[in-house]
Homo-oligomer: A and B are copies of this chain.
């Protein structure tokens, strides 16, 4: 098992932010600067073409930390500080060419993200192993997953494969490579899609939501195009995690009463 090494730390506005590595993977862990000894973790993933410190990541992390969660994200393969292979360069070039020609991006994104998922899922599971070694997170508590776009393409097989994840927010992807795996997921799911998405047909987004095997699942669909996801969906995701990841605090409370 690869362990986690902290490489930098800052604190501001009640949030402690620590850079870390697990093997050659760089990540960030945001934590409440004060609070209980142990708190649940939300594992996040970033979207395609962005990285672990993209504004959407830091913004969501701050909202989640304010509700008492730890939040971790690592650079996906070929993203952020990580190298691209020749295959990565080829797929990125194909995507830009399709975009420039006004051709559909879906087939390229679906294919390339499936490859990135095969590479990233073992890395994310190893990162979760290492994060659970930290005393402030621990191995007993529930873990949430929050990832849209490419992070849904990686997150669906990640959550299906790892029963430590007990609640997940996904969104903004196609069912083609994911619906079969989504059927295996039974934990509570919140799924976001854009009603007027110019890349993902409405029926395709609804089909992926429909595929999840979860008895408890919620769709949030908002008017607007692919990049118009309203900011209040981040607050709704925080409320979802607050409903589902409270077990660690309850366990601590029970322990307290037994003393």
Residues of B close to A216: CB separation below 8 A: 223, 230
Provide the bound-state CA to CA distance between A143 and B177, in Å.
Answer: 45
Return the contact of A215 from the options B206, B209, B223, B235 (Cβ within 8 A).
B223
- With the chains together, A220 CA to B232 CA distance in Å? 13
CA distance A216 to B231 in the complex (A): 13
Q: Does A20 contact B (CB under 8 A)?
A: no
**Interface SS of chain A: helix, strand, loop or mixed?**
mixed
Q: Are B219 and A220 in contact (CB under 8 A)?
A: yes
A219 and B218 form a contact (CB under 8 A)? no
Interface residues in A181-219 by Cβ distance below 8 A to B read 195, 206, 209-210, 214-219
Q: Is A246 an interface residue (CB 8 A)?
A: no
Tell yes or no: A243 within 8 A of B by CB: yes
Contacting pair A219 B217 (CB below 8 A): no
Name 17 extra pairs, CB < 8 A, besides A209-B221, A232-B239: A195-B210, A195-B217, A206-B206, A215-B223, A216-B223, A217-B222, A218-B220, A218-B221, A218-B223, A219-B219, A219-B220, A219-B221, A219-B222, A221-B221, A236-B236, A236-B239, A239-B239
Residues of A within 8 A of B (CB): 195, 206, 209-210, 214-223, 230, 232, 235-236, 239, 243
